[in-house]
Structures are given as C-alpha cells and as structure tokens.
Amino acid sequence: MISPGAVLAQGTIPVRDGKFSFTFDPARIHELAPSYDIVNEATGKPYLADVVHLTFFSKETSPVTYHSFVRLIVRGNKVHYTR
C-alpha cells in the first residue's frame, strides 16, 4: 500500500477457501503516516482526500504456475479499479 511519497504497508494476506479479506482503515493509515489526512483542518469534520494505491498480487501453483495482480486506487471516498 502506497501513498505519494510513502510506503504505508506491505505483506502477505492469507487465502482461505480461495478468498482473502483486506480492510482499509483510514485512521490506522493516519497513525502510520500522519500526513494522510482524515480530518478537514478548516471544519474539523471527517475527510478523505489523499490518494492511496493498493496492489494485490497472486501466484497460483497448481496445476501450472500463474500470476495475476490488480490495483485499487483510493481517492477520497472513491475506489478506482485498474489492471
């Protein structure tokens, strides 16, 4: 997971029954990188404006080796899907 100028997290997500789960938590991201804004400084209200790129990569090994990836771009309260 990256935001311009910062690698926020990377790791492995376990797959169970052919599925995985990932929760994007803006408050946790703000703890890791205080420059990730979650409050509008002028109004004090909750606010998301920064961009975060999430890239998911998978490697299947049976019956043949196969790779796949997807990138999700979070901009404010919208998620954009790209391949």
Confidence at residue 83, expressed as pLDDT on a 0 to 100 scale:
65
State the pTM of this model: 0.76
Domain assignments of the chain as residue spans, ordered by start: 2-82
User: 15: how many CB neighbours lie within 10 A of its CB?
Assistant: 10
Residue 2 has a pLDDT of 83
Three-state helix/strand/coil letters over the chain:
CEECCEECCCCCCCCECCECCCCCCHHHHHHHCCCCCCECCCCCCECCCCEEEEEEEEEECCCCCEEEEEEEEEECCEEEEEC
> Given CA atoms 20, 25, 30, 31 in this order, what sign does their dihedral have?
negative
pLDDT of 62: 83
pLDDT tens digits in sequence order for the chain, 83 residues long: 888 778 888 999 998 888 889 998 999 989 988 888 899 999 999 998 889 999 999 888 888 998 999 999 998 889 998 76
Q: How far apart are CA 43 and CA 57, in angstroms?
A: 38
